[in-house]
Amino acid sequence: MAPEERRAALIAATIPLLHEHGLDVSTRQIAEAAGVAEGTIFGVFENKNSLVVCSVVKALDPQPTIDALAAIDRHAPLRDRLTAAAELVHTRFAEHAQLMAAIRKLIFADESSGDARLRMASSRERVQAALADVIRPDAALLRRSPGAVARMLLLFCGAHTYGPFGDPDGFNAEEAVSLLLDGLLKRQDDNRGAQSTC
């Protein structure tokens, strides 16, 4: 097996173990799951942390979420589009909550993980841009830009999943969207007030 194939196989074996054990996963467990000798890991990765970082970055690849956001019907009402998008974002966050905790401990505390930090930042930007694209057809109805609304929805979903007051199992996309939109939609009396003079 070529080195790149070994790397890919080890990453694929590591991802489910990270979901199960977090950073406590051992190289022995990884090797057993991959069906290789433990020393094989160190033939293609510098150390366990290097393998774990590559595995987390792969597991958190935003492309499936971006593709699902792109598939939302742009002709549907804004509220329906955002509800579908909120469900997708929440599902992504909830599925990867343990990995996100691991990434904070490992990547952001390790100075040698600069490339991984840049990739994670790029992933966040790509998801935000895809979400903004879902909102964009109704940009004229909103007080804030599609990008700002997307960022607020991501913050709400993230706080609901990871925050101390969150309840991932009790997440309700319709309520989240109502909270967001009903505070951001322009009201007709806003326009009348702007036109009146005192």
Residues 176 and 101 both lie in one domain: yes
Residues 105 and 179 both lie in one domain: yes
Q: Whole-angstrom Cα distance, residue 98 to residue 96?
A: 6
The answer to whether residue 197 scores a pLDDT higher than 50 is no
Of 39, 58, 77, which marks where a domain is finished? 58
Q: In terms of pLDDT, which residue wins out, 103 or 2?
A: 2
Nearest Cα to 99, choosing from 18, 17, 7, 181?
18
Q: pLDDT digit string (tens) for 162-182?
A: 777 777 677 889 988 998 888
Q: What CATH number should be reported for the domain holding residue 66?
A: 1.10.357.10
Q: What is the pLDDT of residue 90?
A: 92
Tell me, yes or no, whether 193 lies in a domain: no
Q: pLDDT digit string (tens) for 23-41?
A: 889 999 999 999 999 999 9
Residues 174 and 81 both lie in one domain: yes
The answer to whether residue 190 scores a pLDDT higher than 60 is no
Mean pLDDT of the chain: 86
| Three-state secondary-structure class, residue 61 | coil
Residues 111 and 85 both lie in one domain: yes
Tell me, yes or no, whether 160 lies in a domain: yes
Residues 15 and 109 both lie in one domain: no
Q: Residue range 45-55: average pLDDT?
A: 89
Tell me, yes or no, whether 191 lies in a domain: no
Residues 150 and 116 both lie in one domain: yes
Residues 167 and 123 both lie in one domain: yes
* Residue 149 and residue 135 in contact, taking contact as beta carbons nearer than 8 Å: yes
Q: What is the pLDDT of residue 12?
A: 95
Q: For 115-129, b where at least 16 C-beta lie within 10 A, e where not — what string?
A: ebbebbeebeeebbe
CA triplet 98, 61, 147: central angle to 5 degrees? 100
Domain extent at residue 46: 3-58
Q: How much of the chain exceeds pLDDT 90, in percent?
A: 49
* Residue 86 and residue 172 in contact, taking contact as beta carbons nearer than 8 Å: no
Q: Which long-range contacts (CB under 8 A, 24 or more apart) does 147-154 make?
A: 149/180, 149/184, 152/180, 152/184, 153/82, 153/85, 153/86, 153/89, 153/177, 153/180, 154/89, 154/124, 154/127, 154/128
Q: What is the pLDDT of residue 186?
A: 67
The answer to whether residue 159 scores a pLDDT higher than 70 is yes
Residues 93 and 162 both lie in one domain: yes
Per-residue pLDDT band at 196 (split at 50, 70, 90): very low
Q: What is the pLDDT of residue 85?
A: 97
Residues 152 and 122 both lie in one domain: yes
* Residue 146 and residue 133 in contact, taking contact as beta carbons nearer than 8 Å: yes
> In total, how many domains does the chain have?
2
Q: What is the pLDDT of residue 135?
A: 97
Tell me, yes or no, whether 106 lies in a domain: yes
Q: What is the pLDDT of residue 198?
A: 42
Q: pLDDT digit string (tens) for 60-92?
A: 899 999 999 999 999 999 999 999 999 999 999
Residues 14 and 72 both lie in one domain: no
Residues 39 and 87 both lie in one domain: no
Q: What CATH number should be reported for the domain holding residue 46?
A: 1.10.10.60
